[in-house]
Structure 1
Amino acid sequence: MTVALEIAVTSPAGAATARDGGADRVELCVGLELGGLTPSQALVEAVHETGIPAHALIRSRPGGFVFDAAEIDLMERELRAVLRSGAAGVVVGALRPDHSLDVDVLRRFVATAKEVRDTAEVTLHRAIDHAADPVAAVALLADIGFTRVLTSGGKPTAVAGATTIARMVDAAGPVQVMAGAGVTPADVPALLATGAAAVHLSAKRAAAGSAHDGVPMGGSDDGSAHFVTDADVVRAARAAVDAA
């Protein structure tokens, strides 16, 4: 089995770094420090021009994954916009209040993606790690129409959840299981031992000189630096995947 390497990026420069380091695709978002939010149309267009397949995260706000009707409508609009702007796929998720998958909403997202482009790939994001039973949840995804799922096995990091990830691989059928969350190149062999079809990491480092002091720009702004994609980490991850 050929294992894919996916890098989470937030900029065209990050996408180019991932491409040059040997990544197979990128997940594109903004606000990594918030868990990732939907990128703008212009950002999707600019990343598309780098030539690496980009899968755009569709998440209209931070916080949990139980969405109201207005939020679902907005994310459906965002989904259409990013696919029309060149995204190769979308990354979506939604839960019910009882922490089961919101199958009705997920079917709607998948159907909308396929209406825009029948070749669009659809990934379920780490909402599955907040599901009451991630293994039972992953068994539903093929029928809904998902291409893959990103998971840490319900744990804070993919390495901690490796045992559950292996069970999810067994339950997923044709849906690709991608291991991600807190992944470093050194973790790759353990994650590939689960049978995962791909590994996902942000490969990020703080941008030099980007921290600021003084007047906060929001309630959660502590003056920290923003992150950029680290070419050395991408190359190390590619080498680890190829060596496994």
Structure 2
Amino acid sequence: MTTAPVALEIAVTSPAGALVARDHGADRVELCVGLELGGLTPSQALVETVHETGIPAHALVRCRPGGFVHDRDELDLMEREVRTVLRSGAAGVVVGALRPDRTLDTDALRRFVAAARSVSATAEVTLHRAIDHAADPVAAAASLAELGFTRVLTSGGAPTAAAGASTIARVVEAAGGVQVMAGAGVTPADVAALVSVGVAAVHLSAKRPAVGSAHAGVPMGGSDDGSAHFVTDAEVVRAARRALDVVAA
């Protein structure tokens, strides 16, 4: 039996980031805006433009920052966003929702999966790191195949994937046919150890501050401290690709 190669996914927020990821060894990108807020749903135009780069893009669908317990209006909006980003060219969607008791909101997740597959029967659906806020990430992972998910992105409930590697190994065992992708604070130096626990993919933001993008003017919101925004770092993408190639050799 041949084992599929471990995929490299890069989180990007722009067409330029998608091109950097494509040209330096990524297999796909997760597309969002507001990476500094944990990522939010990208616009239709952004999805369309990244689709034109040719690299498969999985669009994050998250309508606001903060926790993952959503009210009815938010769930209705995100269900529509799922359809919109897929019709705009996304290869898949990245979704998540929890109940107040920190179990997966399976009703909401079924809605998202059904909405995705109503647009494309082959649409890939990833559960995002809401699973890391669940009371029991391993038990949550065990339910994903029945819900129709393609994969899950997780740090094993830890601040970083490297710190949560032992739990990620348990998630791999529990998830069955659902792919497990390790993400959160991943650096190229972490790749070999994460691959060793059986993940199907590694996920990096591979970001650096954009030169000259900081400002010292009037704040644009409560969380605006004038810091620079982030762009995709080609060298980090290349280093992660090299690390995966070494493991595969």
Same structural fold, with TM-score higher than 0.5 when normalized by the shorter chain: yes
Per-residue Cα deviation, 1:54-81 (whole angstroms, up to 9, x for no partner): 0000000000000000000000111111
* Root mean square deviation, CA, Å: 0.4
Whole-angstrom distance in 2 between the partners of 1:150 and 1:14: 20
Query: Quick one: which of 72, 77, 82 aligns to 1:79?
Result: 82
Query: Quick one: which of 41, 50, 55 aligns to 1:52?
Result: 55
Aligned match of 1:118: 121
CA apart distance, 1:242: 1.1
Paired residue secondary structure (2:58): strand
Whichever residue aligns with residue 157 of structure 2, its letter is G
Whole-angstrom distance in 1 between the partners of 2:240 and 2:157: 23
Query: Quick one: which of 231, 236, 240 aligns to 1:237?
Result: 240
Aligned match of 1:61: 64
CA apart distance, 1:214: 1.7
Paired residue secondary structure (2:90): coil
Q: How many residues align?
A: 244
Paired residue secondary structure (2:93): strand
For residues 23-62 of structure 1, the aligned pairs below 5 Å read: 23-62=26-65
Whole-angstrom distance in 1 between the partners of 2:222 and 2:17: 27
Aligned match of 2:12: 9
Whole-angstrom distance in 2 between the partners of 1:142 and 1:224: 41
Whole-angstrom distance in 1 between the partners of 2:178 and 2:35: 25
| TM-score relative to the length of structure 1 | 1.00
CA apart distance, 1:200: 0.1
Aligned match of 2:101: 98
1:226 corresponds to 2:233? no
Mark the runs of 5 or more structure 1 residues left unpaired by the alignment: none
Aligned match of 2:157: 154
Aligned match of 1:211: 214
Query: Quick one: which of 161, 166, 175 aligns to 1:172?
Result: 175
Paired residue secondary structure (2:36): helix
Whichever residue aligns with residue 186 of structure 1, its letter is A
Per-residue Cα deviation, 1:196-223 (whole angstroms, up to 9, x for no partner): 0000000000000000002001110000
Paired residue secondary structure (2:85): helix
Whole-angstrom distance in 2 between the partners of 1:77 and 1:170: 33
Whole-angstrom distance in 2 between the partners of 1:46 and 1:22: 20
Aligned match of 1:185: 188
Per-residue Cα deviation, 1:8-51 (whole angstroms, up to 9, x for no partner): 00000000000001100000000000000000000000000000
Paired residue secondary structure (1:98): coil
Mark the runs of 5 or more structure 2 residues left unpaired by the alignment: none
Paired residue secondary structure (2:131): helix
